[in-house]
Every structure is written in structure tokens, then in C-alpha cells.
Structure 1
Amino acid sequence: MAPAEGVLQQPSGRDAGPWWKTYRRAWLRPDGLAGLTTAAVVIPKAMAFATIAGLPVQVGLTTALVPMVVYALLGTSRALSVSTTTTLAILVGTELAGGVGRTNPGEALALSALLALLVGAMLVVASALRLGFLANFISESVLVGFKSGIGLVIVVDQLPKLLGISIEKAGFFRDLAAVAARVPASSLVTVALSGLLVLLLMGLQRRWPQLPAPLLVVAAAVALSAGLGLGERGVAVIGAVQGGLPSFSLPPLGLAGQLWPAAIGIAVMSFTESAAAARAFRGPEDPAPDANRELLALGAANALGACFGAMAAGGGTSQTAVNRQAGARTQLAALVTAAAALATLLFLAPLIAVMPQAALAVVVVVYALPMIAPAEFLAIRRVRHAEFRWAVVAFLGVVLLGTLKGILVAVILSLVALAQQEINPPVYAIGRKPGTDVFRPLSSRHHQDETWPGLLLVRAEGRLFFANADGVAARIRRLIERHSPRVVVLDGSALIDLEYTALKALSQAERHLQQQGIELWLAGLNPAVLEVVRRSELGERLGRPRLRRNVQRAVEHYLRDNSKASGGSRSG
């Protein structure tokens, strides 16, 4: 797997053109094999994910056909496999079950298509507004919590199918309680079949990871169902499947006003998941995906797919991984996958009809379980406790409030995290490592670091602007009160920007310090910040003597010119 790239960006040069213009004949075989291999994973999962949303399995097949083709023609990621995902399916299902979707199956299909159309329109508008920079907007820790919550919700949602019972969906905890109450009424045949298929799927994945395990498990379930007549033994089966080519029909727009809030959340997750998968599985010779072009391609895939009855679509991480590992060189592999989905619609509908619902539930649960990632939570906690708390809150947001509100919680948490980092930049006192010109934060671990009577060295990091200027000034004042210096040197080597409000606050602080008999010096400013300071009132007040090239020069100047400090240094 290729390492993740930092951002999506515009490819340059000959790589920026359509992939088919530079296609090589030598790529036909690896693309064909990769497309067929990926189809063996995508097709069973697409049908399973349709059932998560409460939709017929043919909707999943249509989603593996139309959006897959549209993205392959317009998208910039060579490996990305676009159909639907567990996250998108549960989001769609939540909306369809939340009031507007509690209707007959025909209306549910129309609402799903309308939702996909709105998602596509929003992504296209985002592309026109060049909002591709939002690809990495939700922080990784928040996304870990969100996806873990989604995974747990999906597992609970599929338990009734694994047990052969039915419940009225009413929210995570109520659903869990209802399942527990109905366990005595479980179908023993269904439970036995589910257990067998789980063991088979997990065993295939572990023992022969190169095999299309979902396809083999679904095929085995179909064979058992047909051979043993499981449908007549109380095992729920898929039933009649509408095969044939999907027809073009514009979704009814009457309920667009009710669906657009959900469409925003689904659009965000579609792009976020797709961008993450495109980055993670970009080959070393592949062009960098263009974020704004990706928005357009995903938008068109959703919008056109909606007109053929597809549900909301996006790039799936696991199927993209299969596509890449199977040797996909270009988007032709996705076209082969789409052709396999079309063949399934045209020729395999009778076989799908006898497929046990438990088989698809097994595929969903086994692929949803890795989304629940306690190890990721622990890894985050080892590094940063604050981000661990954000991950936990995002997880609880999904479980307690539902998936769509959980997206809102995730976005708000990311905003709060970003604001917290910007408003509270690091500000600390520094000392010099003995025998070097290295300056580092004062701490009990480095108690031998050099400090000097009457001199306080303070370092501020990041961007100083209107939102954090007062807070930074207050923290510097506390350091001054603690150390009682005659000279304060502000080390600006880690400052990337100094906005006018912060500059004015520094100027006011300099006047206040001067009234107390304390001098303020600046050291180590980068050229852009230094130029801003020189053009300001603060620069005029400081003059050249109090603007030093770096902290070392400032210390040397202080030791040379200050008679009280010239006797040497002390450890602080």
C-alpha cells in the first residue's frame, strides 16, 4: 500500500489529461484481472449495503454499476473503486427510516434516489466553489470515533437478520434491548447458518486472503439455500429481484426540502471517505488526485446514478485496497467491475432470489467489525489525551444521537479542535543547553540549562492574530511575574505570521513593560514577520538595537552590555 499523501492536489504535466489518452496495451491484462477480482468483493458487499439502507439488493448492484462507470470516466484516482460504503448505507438507511422514509418500498426507492441526486448536486456545487481543500477537514481522531460508532451501530442493526427475528427500529439502545428480548424467539436454523457463514468468511480471509471471500460465502449460502430449501425452513431469503437494465428516471423533487440536511452529511462523508481512500492507495507513479475534480466526479457519479435508481455512492477503502492489490493500473479496472455488476443484474437475478438475508448480514458485520477500533483509541490516548477525548465524544455522538447528528458532532469537534489549537499556541520560557547554542523549553528534566539573572527568554509558536493576541499576552505577563526580568526577549523563530491586532497588542505590551522598567526585545523573526514589524509603530519604538537576528545574539548582547549579568550564568 502506498503511503498516504498529505493533501489532494492538481496533477501537472501529461498526467493531468484523461487516463485513456495515455493508456498502454500492457495494462489490459492487469486491469482486467483486477476489475474481476474487485467485482467479486464489490458485488456481494453492494447488495449487503443496500439491505443496510432498507433497500432492495438490485439498488446495490445499480450503485456498483452507474456511479462506478461515471467516476472511472471523470475521476483522477486510478485505483479508487466507487459504489457505496457501510457508512453511506447506514446514513441513507437512517434518513429513510426517520419519518420521510417510513413508506412503501416504491416510495423508499424514490427517496433514496432523490437523496443521491441532492448529494451529487452538493458535490458539484462544492467543486464549482473549489472547496476541495476540505478533504482533510475532519481530524483523524474524530474520524476514528465517528467510524467506530458507525461500526457498532451497523453490527446491532444486522443482529436481527443473523438471529432470524424482526424488531421495530427505534434507536441504538432501544434496538439493542429489543434484540435481547427477542433472542428466545430466534430461528435456530438461521443462527446455525449465520455462525457457519461467519466462520467460513473469517477463515477464508485469514487462510487465503487472496481469494474473493465474500463472493465464495454468498455462493455457498445460495447453494445451501437452494439445495436444502432453507426458505421453507424459516430462513428469510432475499426474494424476487428485479433484473435487467436499470431505466432512466429523474427522481421526484417534492421532498428535496426535507432531505437536504441529510444530503449535506452524506456528501461530506462521501467526499471524506473517497479522498482518504484515494490518498491511501495512490501508487508511486500515479498522478496526484485533484481534489476539486474529485468533487465533480463524485457529484456526477451520484447525480447520474440517482437517475437510474442508485443510492448515495462514494469510494470504499476496502474495495479500493482490493483493486490496488489485485494490480489495477488505471480506471479501466473499475469499468470491468461495473461490467460484472451489469452481468449480475442481467443474468443472475434468479439465483440472488434464494440468497438468505443472513448471508448478506454476515458480510456486513464481518466488514463492519474492523471499523470498531479500540486499538486506535488507545494509540490516540498514548499520544494526546485531548484528541482521545474528541474521539470518545464523536463515538458517543453517533451512538447516542444517531449517525447524521453524529456527523454534525464530528464536524463541530473538528472546528473546536482547530480553534483550540489556533487560539492557544504554545508560549513558554526557554533556556540554553550547556555548551551549545540550542535553546529549549525550561523543565525539571533539563535543570542544568542556562538562564541569566534579569533576562527572560520566551518563545511563541504558530500564528499570532486577533483571536489569540490577548491570551498570548496574558501568558507572557504571567511568565514575567514569575521571573521578574529586566529584559524580555521574545523568540519569534517559530512564528509564521503576525497579524495587525497581535502587532498592536505587542506594541501596547512594550509600552506597559517600559513603564515598569522592563525592555522588550524581539529575536529570530522570519523575513516576512520582520518586515511587518519594521513598518509598524512597534518597530520604530524598538529600533535596530532591540531587533536581534536570533536568541543567541540577543543573549550575547545582554551579557556584554548588562553589568549585573556579566558575572556569568546560573542554572535555573
Structure 2
Amino acid sequence: MRVLPFLFLRPVHLLRTYRLANLQPDMLAGLTIAVVLLPQAIVFSLLAGLPPQMGIYTAVAAGIVGALWGSSSHLNTGPTNSASVLVLSILAPLAAPGTPPFMAAAGMLAVMAGILRIAMGLARLGILVNFVSDSVIVGFTAGAGVLVAVGEVRHLLRLDFSASGLLDNLVKLAQTVSQAHPASMALGLGAAGLILGLKRLDRRLPGPLIALLMAGAAVALFNLAANGVKIIGQMPGGFPPLARLPLLDLDLIGHLSTGALAIAAIGLVEATSIARSIASQSGERLNSNQEFVGQGMANIAAGLFSGYPASGSFNRSALNLEAKARSPMSNVFGSLFVLIATLALGPLVAFVPRAALAGVLIVGAYGMIDRKEMQRIWRGARGDTLIMIVTLSATLLLPLQFAVLSGILMSLAYYLLKTSMPQVRSVVPDEHFRHWIFQPDKPVCPQLGVVDILGDLYFGAASHIEESVRALQAQHPTQRYLMLRMQSVDHCDISGIHALESILRLYRERGGDVYFTRVRESVLKLMKSTAFFRDVGADHFLGEDNAVEHLFYHVLDPAICIYESDVRVFRECQNLPRPEYGVPIVLHTDMPAGLLTEIEPRALWDRLRGQAPPVVVDVRQPREFKRGHIAQAQNIPLVDLLTQPLTLPHDRLIVLACRAGRRSARATYALHNQGYNNCAVLQGGMQAWEDAGLLEAVD
């Protein structure tokens, strides 16, 4: 129930809070809008195949209702180029333009589109317009501009033919161009030239209005109508009458449904885009759902009061802002001024030649092709370029309602494609070891892969992320450990958890493991609730600052770094010696089952003080040995143990020690191959020895 006051009772709030100090500036801005809106209403209605008065009625009804129920203070709602082109394209197969059935269908189209827009507003679907690429609007508007320009050439030349589609129009123009009417062509080209000239002189001048008035004066003065120049003719005066619409004609509703959806969608995207653009200059906060309702109410009002579908106009909205309008009432005043002007100037409008209107439309159509924006899109992302080209091509070659919907569906498909294929890339530290960056040309650690997931881990992306990680693992098969950086994963679902479980299983089956850093709280909560956190282990979720340090000293195998690899990726491994030993070093990663015997630090301590103490061999590097070692130990670095003859006793227990146990395990395997069968490994290495408080010998 709270939605109704918020969305439908906006006029009450607007009128209650209106300040009288805004009255004068709003009326002046409304007068400025009316000067532009009046000729556009006439021109656009003819473009839609409708009589001029329907454009006037749309400008009045939609303009007032859209202002009162909309969210923007400056967005002007009324007849537009794109809506008019769509109306003609949708209705031409159903009825002849200008006939009563055609006019009734146009009103029905407005009502249906309005209902769809209101439904979207009530459903809080205003956010959906953010998923329609601007490339759709740019491509559609450019294509519509071409269609308008080509379609109006026949009226400019007063050629009598009907055509369906761009190609048919071009063919018939080429066949009949020799029959052009000179006087009509002169009026049309003169109107277009005058508009362009006035633009260069002063953009604030109402070029279309001046051009139409001068063309009408020329027709009246020289009686050009008698010489074959087609004119608009007398328009009915009075207020917008209620239309008799076939509201219960289900067959007609079925035929119009696709077109109504296209008009609703493109109109909403167009109106909200314009409103956002204007709001970025005015600083006004907008409510997309309120704007949906406002646009819906405006279209219903236009349809019921003998108009046709309407939308937001960028040039009129920008003019409203430039004219210093302070509230939506400026648009209300603009529509009222159009109505007054029509009642007063109706007889004069009858003399306006159709060719002059064609000239005005051709100039406007040229302006619809935003060449700079098209160039920017062309130079930008490939996806945006493809969407623009497809929408433009579809607009030129297909019925417009299908062109619009194809462009919108393609932009949605592009969005889904992008979100379902987030980047999964291997990163390494920068030269200062401060940031992780993507540097594909730099070597990676042979043991640890560090991977950024740049996107959400949801059902649409889970498979792609898993396959990408598997591909990275296949590319670097020696990397048995993986650290996933998940600061860009804002959302994860059960499919994402299954993908992580599969990745964890992949690495653990190969004797490695997976660790996580920078996991967001919402994702971590899901991991805990699904038992993934428990299965992985709390110690596998590391802080960003100490993650590599922990893995380097507690997980990774330093023997691989020292004896096999000359790659030094992390800060912690910069001081490790390079493997330049002159002889090949063979490190056995996998030990035969049951070969290793371990001895705990306290047990070794006790045996060293008993009879027949074991021989302790520390296989670390000399610099490590000097920092601290078992007092009775002798230092035989692993490389020497693997490459030089040994003189160790066979009749005593040999205990091998290293930092954490991995190098000593390899040493045990090597000694076993040389006939030393009475060997053991210090459990946990020197780290465990020190943790037990047994460290005494320090050089």
C-alpha cells in the first residue's frame, strides 16, 4: 500500500510543495519549450502517418501528465522521432496510414505501452534499464534517422508512391526521381537550408518554427496550393477529445503486443537515459520507478485523448534546463502554451506545405545520427561495437519493433556473457612486492599459483571459473599449491561452492592444496554454512599481508627452489641460492608408502642423551644451519648428500633434519637407495624442535 502514495500521488506532493517564486521562471521556460514543441508535434505526427492534430494532442496530454507523475524536473514528454518511426513501422501492416483504423490502433498502442511501463514501475524494475547498453540507443537512433531521411525524400519531391522498407524506398526513388515537383522541392530544401542557417547564426532561434511559418506564408502569398504543392489543410480546433478505442478487441491487442513491448522498452530506456543525462548537469536525484510510472501515465493519457505513443525528448529537455526551469511545472506550462497557440494559429497552420515539413524532418533525421558517439563506440569495446552494428543493421532491414527488441536482447545477452565469463588470471608481485598485477610475460612460481577471480562466482560463471583454473594448472603442472584472491567476488552461490570444491579436490589429489585470501564476508558466510570452510580448514584462509610468507615458510618446498628452479617470484625467496651445482640434482617428490619413519623432537632429545645416541644429519644450507641447529648435528646440505659419497654409520639410527621435514624426507629416500635402512625424519623439522624449546646450538 505504501507504493501507491509514493508513485501515484506524486502530483499532490508536487503541488503542495510548489513555490510561487518558481512560477515566473517556469512559465518562461514553458514558453521556450512550446516554441519548439509545436512544430515538432506537427512534424512527428506526420512522420507516424497520423494527422497533425494527433501530434498536438499528444504534446498536450503526455506533456502535462508526464511532468506531474514523472521524477525529473526537466524531462519533457511528448512526440519524438523514434516513437513516431516505430508507430508507423508497427501499424503500417495493419491499416493504411491516416485512416480511422490506423488512428485508433495508434491510440491503443499508446495505452498498451503505458500499461506495460506502469507495471514495470510497480514491480520496481527501474533498474532493468541499466542492463540495456547505450549502444542499442545509438544504433537504433542512427538507423531511424536514415529511415526518416530516406522516407521523407518522396514528400520533399512530391513523389506519389508507397514503399515498405529501406531498399524498396530507394529503388522507387530511383525510378521516379524524374517526376519531382520543382516548387515542392524548392520549399522543402529552402526550409532545410533556413534551419541550418539559423543554427549557425544563433542556436537559440526556433529554426523549425520560423521555417514552417515562412513556407506557409509563401504558399498563401503565391497560391502555391493551386500549382500542386500539398499542404496540411485545416486542423480541427478545441481541446483534445476522448478517443473511441477498441479496448476489448483482443485480436488487435494480440497484433499490437510485440510492438507495444518494443515501444515500452525503447521509450523507457530513452526517457531514463535522457533524464539521467540532464540530472548529471542539474544535480537532481531521480527515481527510475517513478519515471516508469510517469511515462506510463503519459502514454495512457495520450492514447485516451486522441494521441499516440510518447517518450522523452532530449533537445526539449536540454532546452528546458537551459531556460532555467525550476520544477516540472515548466513542462505543464509548455503543453498549455502549445494548446493555446494551436487554438489561435490553427487557420495559419493549414497553409504549411508538406514538403517543408519533410525538409524539417530530414534535418532532424540528420541530427539523430550521432557520429561522434558512434566513433567512440567503434573505438571502444568490441561488444558495444557489435551491439551497435547489429541494432543499426536490424533497424534498417527489419521491422522496427523486432530491431529494437533484438538490440535489447543482444545487450542483455552481452551482459550475461560478460558476467558468466569473468577474468581468471594468474598474477605476480610487482617489482616492489607491494601489489599483485597481471604480467603474463613474467615467470611464475613453480610451486604456488596466485590467481585473481575478477567477477561473481555464481551459477552462470562457476563452470567458466573452474575450467579457467584447470587450464592454468595444466599450463603450470608443477604448481601443486594455489592461492585464490577473491576480493572481486561479491556474490557466490551453491554452484560456485561446487566449483571451489572441484578445484580443491584437483589440487589435493595431486598432493597440493588451495588457500584463500581477501574473501568477502558474505561469501565467507556461505562457505561456513555449506561446510566448505570446515572441509578446507580455517588455517587455509590467510591474510593478504602475510599469506605468501606463511606459505613460503610452512607449505612450499624450499628444496625445489634451491635445487631445481632459478625463478625468484616472491620477496621471501629473493635470497635463496640459485641451482648452479654443476651436476644434475634429482628430487623425488613422491615417497614410497611406509618408507618414512618419524621421530618426535622430545623423543630425539631423550635418545641423544642416552646410550648409542643417533647420528643427526641437518640437510639445510650452511647459512640456515648457523642460525640454529641441534647441538649434536652435523651439517650435510642436501645437494652434497645427493651428489657426494657418504661415510655415515650403518649400525646406528640416522635422524635427518631440515626446516619443516620435506628436504629430510628426500634425504631419507636418497639414503635408502644407498643402503642406509635405519633412518628417521625429525617430525616437523627444526621448526618443531624450536617450538618445543629445545634449541640450544646457535653459531
- Does TM-score exceed 0.5, indicating one fold? yes
Match of 1:219? 213
Match of 1:321? 318
Superposition pairs of residues 42-57 of structure 1, within 5 angstroms: 42-57=37-52
In the alignment, the residues of structure 1 paired with residue 102 and residue 343 of structure 2 have an alpha-carbon distance, to the nearest angstrom, of 23
Match of 1:6? none
Per-residue displacement from partner, 1:446-465 (whole Å, max 9, x unpaired)? x4xx7433111111111111
In the alignment, the residues of structure 2 paired with residue 512 and residue 382 of structure 1 have an alpha-carbon distance, to the nearest angstrom, of 41
Match of 2:417? 420
Shift of the alpha carbon at 1:210? 1.4
8 Å CA contact retained: 1:75, 1:294:
yes
Superposition pairs of residues 475-514 of structure 1, within 5 angstroms: 475-484=468-477, 485-514=479-508
Counterpart pick for 2:543 among 544, 549, 565 = 549
Give the unaligned 5+ runs of structure 1: 1-9
Match of 1:4? none
When residues 235 and 264 of structure 1 are mapped into structure 2, their CA distance, relative to the original with a 3 A threshold, is same
Amino acid across the alignment from 2:38: I
8 Å CA contact retained: 2:480, 2:511:
yes
Counterpart pick for 2:384 among 383, 387, 392 = 387
Amino acid across the alignment from 1:409: S
SS in 2 for 1:520: strand
In the alignment, the residues of structure 2 paired with residue 103 and residue 452 of structure 1 have an alpha-carbon distance, to the nearest angstrom, of 72
Counterpart pick for 2:568 among 559, 567, 570 = 570
8 Å CA contact retained: 2:424, 2:453:
yes
Amino acid across the alignment from 1:350: P
Residue 462, structure 1, aligned to residue 460, structure 2: no
In the alignment, the residues of structure 2 paired with residue 544 and residue 348 of structure 1 have an alpha-carbon distance, to the nearest angstrom, of 81
Identical amino acids, percent of aligned pairs: 28
When residues 16 and 500 of structure 1 are mapped into structure 2, their CA distance, relative to the original with a 3 A threshold, is farther
SS in 1 for 2:546: helix
Per-residue displacement from partner, 1:269-294 (whole Å, max 9, x unpaired)? 22221111111112766642222222
Residue 400, structure 1, aligned to residue 397, structure 2: yes
Moved more, 495-504 or 239-248: 239-248
Q: How many residue pairs were aligned?
A: 555
When residues 283 and 526 of structure 1 are mapped into structure 2, their CA distance, relative to the original with a 3 A threshold, is closer
Counterpart pick for 1:97 among 92, 96, 109 = 92
Per-residue displacement from partner, 1:8-40 (whole Å, max 9, x unpaired)? xx999xx99723322223322221111111111
Match of 1:88? 83
Match of 2:432? 435
Counterpart pick for 1:330 among 310, 327, 338 = 327
Amino acid across the alignment from 2:76: S
Shift of the alpha carbon at 1:348? 1.6
Shift of the alpha carbon at 1:414? 1.4
Shift of the alpha carbon at 1:263? 1.0
Counterpart pick for 1:141 among 135, 138, 142 = 135
In the alignment, the residues of structure 2 paired with residue 59 and residue 239 of structure 1 have an alpha-carbon distance, to the nearest angstrom, of 14
Superposition pairs of residues 265-344 of structure 1, within 5 angstroms: 265-282=262-279, 287-344=284-341
8 Å CA contact retained: 2:480, 2:510:
no
When residues 49 and 530 of structure 1 are mapped into structure 2, their CA distance, relative to the original with a 3 A threshold, is same
Shift of the alpha carbon at 1:84? 1.3
Counterpart pick for 1:559 among 537, 552, 555 = 552
8 Å CA contact retained: 2:188, 2:357:
no
SS in 2 for 1:281: helix
Shift of the alpha carbon at 1:556? 1.6
Match of 2:115? 121
In the alignment, the residues of structure 1 paired with residue 531 and residue 334 of structure 2 have an alpha-carbon distance, to the nearest angstrom, of 66
Amino acid across the alignment from 2:46: T
In the alignment, the residues of structure 1 paired with residue 98 and residue 35 of structure 2 have an alpha-carbon distance, to the nearest angstrom, of 31
In the alignment, the residues of structure 1 paired with residue 136 and residue 440 of structure 2 have an alpha-carbon distance, to the nearest angstrom, of 31
When residues 146 and 91 of structure 1 are mapped into structure 2, their CA distance, relative to the original with a 3 A threshold, is same
Amino acid across the alignment from 1:470: S
Counterpart pick for 2:259 among 262, 270, 283 = 262
SS in 2 for 1:72: helix
Per-residue displacement from partner, 1:490-534 (whole Å, max 9, x unpaired)? 111111112111112211221222111221111111122123223
SS in 2 for 1:458: strand
When residues 130 and 60 of structure 1 are mapped into structure 2, their CA distance, relative to the original with a 3 A threshold, is same
In the alignment, the residues of structure 1 paired with residue 336 and residue 389 of structure 2 have an alpha-carbon distance, to the nearest angstrom, of 42
Counterpart pick for 1:21 among 2, 16, 33 = 16
Shift of the alpha carbon at 1:92? 0.7
Amino acid across the alignment from 1:26: A
Amino acid across the alignment from 1:160: R
When residues 283 and 396 of structure 1 are mapped into structure 2, their CA distance, relative to the original with a 3 A threshold, is closer
Superposition pairs of residues 189-204 of structure 1, within 5 angstroms: 189-204=183-198
8 Å CA contact retained: 2:133, 2:384:
no
When residues 536 and 103 of structure 1 are mapped into structure 2, their CA distance, relative to the original with a 3 A threshold, is closer
Greater gyration radius = 2
Match of 2:222? 228
Amino acid across the alignment from 2:211: V
Match of 1:240? 234
Normalized against structure 2, the TM-score is what?
0.76
SS in 1 for 2:427: strand
Amino acid across the alignment from 2:465: V
Q: Looking at both structures, which has the greater relative contact order when contacts are Cα pairs under 8 Å and sequence separation is at least 6?
A: 1
SS in 1 for 2:491: strand
Give the unaligned 5+ runs of structure 2: 571-699
Amino acid across the alignment from 1:495: V
Normalized against structure 1, the TM-score is what?
0.92
Match of 1:79? 74
In the alignment, the residues of structure 1 paired with residue 151 and residue 498 of structure 2 have an alpha-carbon distance, to the nearest angstrom, of 57
SS in 1 for 2:456: strand
When residues 151 and 43 of structure 1 are mapped into structure 2, their CA distance, relative to the original with a 3 A threshold, is same
In the alignment, the residues of structure 1 paired with residue 185 and residue 516 of structure 2 have an alpha-carbon distance, to the nearest angstrom, of 72
Shift of the alpha carbon at 1:430? 0.4
